[in-house]
């Protein structure tokens, strides 16, 4: 199976996909982010009640979407960048020690841009959903 770093330029501490479970190039991807509790952001968000920041949930979905795009040979050597985030909803807090299950389905995809819908969940319970817009630039 593909490793996130096989396709993404992201590296720790800004890599938020630990495992790619499934990928259909140019169509969809499923992955996981295991939150150990050792991540630096938990210390300040929030002291006494550590919670994964919502923006990082959206970033993890975008990274997984990037994997789905970059797995498609048409986009080798390119880089998908955020173009927009629509209808983001946060429905559940995510705590240290939990596993965030990620799924992104791509919509429209052209040589220069694309869309996708992502869902992050814990134990089948939705934590975050968002529509993503991205532009594709030379790498």
**What pLDDT, on the 0 to 100 scale, is given for residue 68?**
98
User: Phi and psi at residue 83, in whole multiples of 5°?
Assistant: -115, -20
> Which residues neighbour 22 within 8 Å (Cβ) at sequence distance 6 or greater?
28, 29, 30
Residue 1 has pLDDT above 90, yes or no: no
pLDDT digits (tens, 9 = 90+) for 119-137: 999 999 999 999 999 999 9
Which of 27, 28, 45, 78 is flagged as catalytic? 45
Residue 80, CB half-sphere, CA atoms under 13 Å: how many? 31
Please state the rounded mean pLDDT for residues 26-47.
Answer: 96
For residue 73, the SS3 value is helix
10 carries an active-site annotation: no
Domain 4-138 has CATH 3.40.50.1000: no
pLDDT digits (tens, 9 = 90+) for 63-118: 999 999 999 999 999 999 999 999 999 999 999 999 999 999 999 999 999 999 99
């Amino acid at each position: 199976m593909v490793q996130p770093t096989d396709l993404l330029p992201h590296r720790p501490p800004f890599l938020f996909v630990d495992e790619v479970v499934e990928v259909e190039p140019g169509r969809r991807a499923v992955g996981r982010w295991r939150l150990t509790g050792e991540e630096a952001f938990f210390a300040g968000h929030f002291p006494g009640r550590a919670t994964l920041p919502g923006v990082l949930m959206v970033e993890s979905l975008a990274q997984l979407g990037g994997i789905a795009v970059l797995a498609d040979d048409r986009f080798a050597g390119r880089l998908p960048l955020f173009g927009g985030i629509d209808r983001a909803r946060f429905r559940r807090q995510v705590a240290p020690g939990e596993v965030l299950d990620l799924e992104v389905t791509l919509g429209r995809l052209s040589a220069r841009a694309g869309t996708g819908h992502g869902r992050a969940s814990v134990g089948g319970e939705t934590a975050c959903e968002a529509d993503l817009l991205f532009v594709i630039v030379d790498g």
